[in-house]
Amino acid sequence: MNTERSTQRLEDHPDRLKWNARYLAPKRLASRGYCPLYDRAEALGIPGGPVLELACGLSDQALALAASGRDVLAVDISNVALDRLRGEAAERGLESRLTCVEADLVSWRPPADRKFALVICVMYWEEAVFDYAWTAVAEGGLLAWQGFTLDHLRYRPSQNPDWCFKEGEPASRLPDDDFAVLHEEDVDEGHRVIRRMVARRNRT
């Protein structure tokens, strides 16, 4: 199993403490299941090459992609989630395909010498993270993102609006001459409002 760790001190990071506590709760031990965003990206056609998943948590997508023969770089701040993900990969014989990175995504950056056929992120939003994530997509590759919209505040007024997409985001943050948006939808699930977007990077 490949494991990397950010040079930043993470032990006392508030986000790490928060997510570790959540993943240690019994109801959080189960994986979150396949995400429709992943299914949409797969249907649109992921080219050959490695995959980067940001804020991966207990990701079935990362395991499924590794099982299909892809090299997957999975990044999360929670060592509890990554330990569980590593364990699942080991049980399935996928150690050589999955590299886990413990990092704060705001300060972390993708390897400068690698481009990815798919960069995917589910239910995490920081503008600064998105603004470097799209640069890691290979020509012809996909960028897939899912997060809350501001309409979600109807259900959870205490939610930090900075963690929600503003009008037009995330697509509006992509360079028009570099990406084509293939899919975008808002979904009101009765307890949250989310947006899914998949875009393909143009070939030069």
Q: Give residue-wise pLDDT tens across range 48-66.
A: 999 999 999 888 889 999 9
Q: What is the pLDDT of residue 22?
A: 81
In the numeric block, which tokens belong to residue 151? 């309409």
Q: What is the pLDDT of residue 1?
A: 47
Tally of structural domains, the chain: 1
Q: Give the 3-state secondary structure of residue 18.
A: helix
Q: What is the pLDDT of residue 7?
A: 42
pLDDT tens digits along 156-188:
999 999 999 999 999 999 998 999 999 999 999
Cα 30 to Cα 96: distance, rounded to the nearest angstrom: 23
CATH code for the domain of 119: 3.40.50.150
Q: Which pTM value belongs to this model?
A: 0.89
From 184, 188, 178, 186, select the one nearest 197 (Cα to Cα): 184
pLDDT tens digits along 111-160:
999 999 999 999 999 999 999 999 999 999 999 999 999 999 999 999 99
- Which amino acid, residue 123? M
pLDDT grade for 27, boundaries at 50, 70 and 90 = low
Q: Give the 3-state secondary structure of residue 146.
A: strand
In the numeric block, which tokens belong to residue 76? 């999360």
| Helix locations, the chain, DSSP H | 14-24, 36-44, 60-67, 79-91, 127-133
In the numeric block, which tokens belong to residue 14? 């508030």
From 125, 176, 178, 145, select the one nearest 40 (Cα to Cα): 145
Cis-peptide, bond into residue 170, ω within 30° of zero: yes
Cα 115 to Cα 96: distance, rounded to the nearest angstrom: 19
Residue with tokens 């993470």: 10
Domain extent, residue 24, equals 2-201
Cis-peptide, bond into residue 175, ω within 30° of zero: no
Cα 170 to Cα 8: distance, rounded to the nearest angstrom: 27
pLDDT grade for 17, boundaries at 50, 70 and 90 = confident
